[in-house]
Amino acid sequence: MREIDLHIHSNHSDGTFSPTYIVESAAKMGLRAIALTDHDNAGGCEEALKAGEKLGIEVVPGIEISTKYGVAVHILGYYIDFNSDFFLMISDWIVDDRNERNKKMCALMQADGIDISYEKMLERFGDVIGRPHFARILMEQGYAESINDAFDKYVEKGRKYYVPRTILPIERAMRTIVRSGGIAVLAHPFQYRKTDAELRELIEYIIPHGLKGIECRYSGYNAEQIAYLENLADEYGLVKTGGSDYHGDNKPNQLGSGFGELEVPYEWLEKLKALKE
Ligand code: AMP
Ligand code: FE
Ligand code: FE
Ligand code: ZN
């Protein structure tokens, strides 16, 4: 029986569904708890919590912050105080910076005759726009066969319409979560293509900055990979988390089950929650 999913994106970042719809789907599936972890903002958390209360499913407010430690590294923050002035100051700043970058990407596409307008994108996708939204528009207009193809051809780093945005250094991202009362967890550790020694170096570097957990179960991770990560977490005295990284129709994996293999025990959430109290 599938119990929880602690890594989910809504239309407050690059997922395709609203927080309410996601909570309803999770309730229908019989999940006991979910966490909403949109990129760089927590604008959907209030709505998700309300839906959770109504439907009797536990909702954890969260965020996934993009940072850099040599390569792009994502840090999940659970139970952040998402209405605090401090948290809003940082997350608003990240979104403003993202908007500046997005307007530049839009201008590059317009200059090539692509039918795109930033105002219309905001209307359609909400206030946190990312490269997946640009990729979707490029696909819809026939410039690419899929979102992935659009990334490869146009919006991946080094491609024609790629414009960088400011990425918080890892220390700042950790501080944003910790000072907002949240619990910081290293997201999808295999995405960084690090060796065992490099991954340990990263973990050891961020523990003093407040790292409390490792995302051990994740869409597509096999039993061997999961065992390796669970051992790492135990070795460093960190809690374990897991989630699908569900993005609705923007990625092929499924809520709660990833690619069919994902199972995250409720007991892991209890341990995570205990760190908050
Ligand atoms: P941004 O934060 O706007 O620069 O966009 C980065 C996001 O794009 C990542 O968090 C991923 O969710 C998504 N992404 C990156 N590469 C790809 C890809 N090849 N296909 C689909 N989505 C991608
Ligand atoms: Fe994403
Ligand atoms: Fe991520
Ligand atoms: Zn994610």
Q: Is the CB of 14 under 6 A from ligand 1?
A: yes
Q: What percent of the chain has pLDDT over 70?
A: 100
Whether residue 40 has pLDDT greater than 90: yes
Q: Rounded distance, CA 57 to CA 246, Å?
A: 18
Q: Which residues keep their CB under 5 angstroms from ion ligand 4?
A: 64, 245
- pLDDT tops 80 at residue 202: yes
Contact 184, 178 (CB under 8 A): yes
Q: How far apart are CA 216 and CA 264, in angstroms?
A: 9
Confidence of residue 242 (pLDDT cuts 50, 70, 90): very high
What pTM did the predictor assign? Answer: 0.94
- pLDDT number for residue 33: 98
Average pLDDT estimate for 234-253: 94
134: DSSP letter = H
The torsion of the CA quartet 136, 138, 140, 144, rounded to 10 degrees, works out to -100
CB of residue 39 inside a 6 A radius of ligand 1: yes
pLDDT at 185 over 80: yes
For 253-274, the pLDDT digits (tens) are 999 999 999 999 999 999 999 9
Element housing 183 (H / E): strand 183-186
